[in-house]
Structure 1
């Protein structure tokens, strides 16, 4: 089955990079600097920041459904990134991590979930989308538990 993975759009976050540290803090956000490789995943480009690169850490509502599964969590974003939006292509950022994949119906109710290494993501996507009631998937980094990307049928 064909699928489409998307990162977050960059535009809603653009203003954050112009704010002072105090103004960021008022929005439950902060500027951070990557201090090691593969530890600061940008949710826009679905790439990892290199050591020394600056990011914004913020709380983001990744599951805005009007259901008990409505959810927010911390994410990193990097300035100047383009939104990842590809069919049948799993970015390296996801390939190198243990992932939690969650399938939701159109009402935002969790229907099924699984955990897989990123190198084995496609069979999990296929299995979850075999349930016609599942409208979309959310991928989370399993260890820290934070939202990573959305998957839709293509």
Structure 2
């Protein structure tokens, strides 16, 4: 049976940004914030919601940089010093299951071939079902309410 794996973003490109002043960040359209609730600030590196008091950056991120009509970017949160999380096959964290999620299925040419909106607890089943299609190369998860990129699911055997 085909399964999937969710992985957080590599923290390396974001780490130097935390050393910049708020003015320097603003010039790059980045906002430094402190989480004032939990959940509510989903970190795209750790695939978990920040805890109250955690320092985060809210920044634009190109999550689909490939040459495609679907090339896309949007806002993401990244927690300071967050370790990159790579989940076990088939694992869907609370970061995802507590939200309504939009699934966008892409082929090897980065063309969207399917899409769905599911309640968080159903995401694992929806991902497994989407990967039944042999043309499904990867799937982007987006938080449906705000439309922000959440994470990427890759097919694993």
Partner of residue 42, structure 1: 43
The TM-score with structure 2 as length reference comes to: 0.95
Deviations 1:102-135 (A, max 9, x none): 1001111110011111111122112211111111
Name the count of aligned residue pairs. Answer: 154
SS at match of 2:52: coil
Matched, 1:77 2:66: no
Partner of residue 30, structure 2: 29
Partner of residue 6, structure 1: 7
The TM-score with structure 1 as length reference comes to: 0.96
Task: Tell me by how many angstroms 1:52 deviates.
Answer: 2.0
Tell me how far apart the structure 1 counterparts of residues 151 and 124 of structure 2 sit (CA, whole Å).
Answer: 14
Matched, 1:132 2:134: yes
> Structure 1: 5+ residue runs without aligned partners?
none
SS at match of 1:11: coil
Tell me how far apart the structure 2 counterparts of residues 84 and 137 of structure 1 sit (CA, whole Å).
Answer: 17
Partner of residue 149, structure 2: 147
> Which contiguous aligned blocks of 4+ residues in structure 1 show a shift greater than 6 angstroms?
none
SS at match of 2:133: coil
**Aligned-residue CA RMSD (Å):** 0.9
1:88 to 68, 86, 90: 90
> Structure 2: 5+ residue runs without aligned partners?
none
